[in-house]
Amino acid sequence: MRPTRAPYIGLTERSDHYWMMRPLDDEHNDAVARFYPYGSRQDGSYPIHHGVEFVNPLGTPVRAVADGEIVVAGGDQIDVLGARDGFYGLVVVLKLDRAMDGMPVYALYGHLSEPRVAVGQRVSAGQVIGLVGETGAAEAPHLHFEVRVGANDYQHTVNPELWLEPRPGYGTLAGVLLSNAGTIVDDEARLIIRSASGAARYETHTYPAVGVNPDPGWLENFGVGDLAAGNWTVQTFHRGQLLEATVNIVAGETTWLEIRLVR
């Protein structure tokens, strides 16, 4: 899905598609955990992350992010939905009523303690569909959340932070890191993102060449949500070059950033 040898062309137009509400309400922790973002390997010892995490206590209600139909509800020991059988434990997959350019869109909820829906059931946005758990390959209670476009399988994930409606006062950053020849850098560059005040500091990585995908509406190779509105500095040291850019994050929107190596 992503060009790595030919010069990056991108899109003539980009626009937000925040079709999904948060899978947890604001009475609970509805912020994406920053320690293991989409497309990263955490400290290098974890598998490439195909989704994002919401850390909440066991039994926290999990909600439908949009109107749609339940296509999976139960264990993943037979129907493999992740890296291997039993990877997500108890799982719910919601197929949205809306499609992107004719492609179906799915939301996956992993590691549940209990699904509260059945296959074929129609649900509305905000409806409780399960409870936070730690089934499958989970080290502690949390919700693993994925967005899949085109097919309901592990190879069709995209960054959920480009689909989840930002929390009030927060926005999203998406962009590309390019070589000096204008091709996508696909060797997982580390990015440091700091608020202007220095009070907030996050790390992420550009996506690897295989395993995860850019969003069809953005064609990014990095993306970070839950950034407070205002100025942020993005810094990377890659291939012997230190690059830095300042961006203004707008609440409720995605800000685009292109960084290019100079040699």
Q: Per-residue pLDDT tens for 162-185?
A: 999 999 999 999 999 999 999 999
What dotted CATH number matches 170-260? Answer: 2.60.40.10
What dotted CATH number matches 52-162? Answer: 2.70.70.10
Q: What is the pLDDT of residue 74?
A: 96
Q: Average of pLDDT values for 126-132?
A: 98
Q: Does the pLDDT of residue 1 top 60, yes or no?
A: no
Q: Is residue 202 within 8 Å of 224, Cβ to Cβ?
A: yes
Looking at 49, 111, 142, 205, which residue is catalytic?
Answer: 142
Name residue 227's beta-bridge partners. 171
188 or 74: which leads in pLDDT = 74
Q: What is the pLDDT of residue 9?
A: 87
The domain segmentation of the chain, as residue ranges, is: 52-162, 170-260
pTM: 0.95
Residue 139, φ and ψ in degrees, nearest 5: -95, -15
Q: Which tokens hold the place of 174?
A: 């998406």
Q: What pLDDT digit, counting tens, does each position of 229-241 carry? A: 999 999 999 889 9
Burial level of 173, CB count in 10 A (0-12/13-18/19+)?
buried
Q: Does the pLDDT of residue 254 top 70, yes or no?
A: yes
User: Nearest-CA neighbor of 212 among 88, 4, 39?
Assistant: 39
Is 156 among the residues known to form the active site?
no
